[in-house]
Structure 1
Amino acid sequence: MCPGRLPSLSAAPYGEGMAPIPSSPAQPDDSTESYVGLDETAAERRARSRGWTTVRSLPPGSIITLEFVAGRINFEVDDSTVTRCWVG
């Protein structure tokens, strides 16, 4: 070993033995418009049964971050009714 160099933690060549890059889960093939007008509880139940991993209900005008999360469906809910729906 050369002075000043750290020992190798792996006997494998560079890049081998590394964990695979995770992939995003598949997003359900679903129409967001089909949720508008539904009762909040019914919409959440339908979304989970169709494979959405995260269901988020928000009141109108909520301040939210804009990061995209695969597998998430968002509902804007006013008076217990879904008025808007989008993915991510």
Structure 2
Amino acid sequence: MPSGGTDDFPGLPVGAARRLADERGWRVVRVLAPGAMMTMDHREGRLNLLVRDGVVERGWEG
């Protein structure tokens, strides 16, 4: 189970967010652009990052 929540990711550059996710134990990191199509299946241990212009706007599990 990853440590920490998803509130620390918004505002980070995508590279820094990926490194933080790795340090915290997220198994899978999915980077999504605004409006991107995505599956709606929930996967425990997957971190979703909504990224605009290389900066994370939102992060959530699943």
Same fold (TM over 0.5): yes
| Aligned twin of 1:40 | 14
Deviations 1:8-46 (A, max 9, x none): xxxxxxxxxxxxxxxxxxx21322111000000000010
Q: Which of the two has greater strand per residue?
A: 2
Q: Aligned residue pairs: how many?
A: 62
Unaligned runs of 5+ in 1: 1-26
- Determine helix, strand or coil for the equivalent of 1:32: coil
Q: Which runs of 5+ in 2 are unaligned?
A: none
**Within-5 A mapping of 1:1-88:** 27-88=1-62
Provide the rounded CA distance (Å) in 1 between the counterparts of 2:35 and 2:6.
19
RMSD between superposed Cα atoms in Å: 0.8
Query: CA separation in 2, counterparts of 1:85 and 1:47?
Result: 11
**2:3·2:25 contact (CA, 8 Å) conserved in 1?**
no
Structure with bigger RCO (C-alpha 8 Å, 6+ apart): 2
Which residue of structure 2 lines up, in the alignment, with residue 22 of structure 1? none
- SS of the counterpart of 2:50? strand
Higher CA-based Rg:
1
Distance 1:30 1:72 in 2: 13
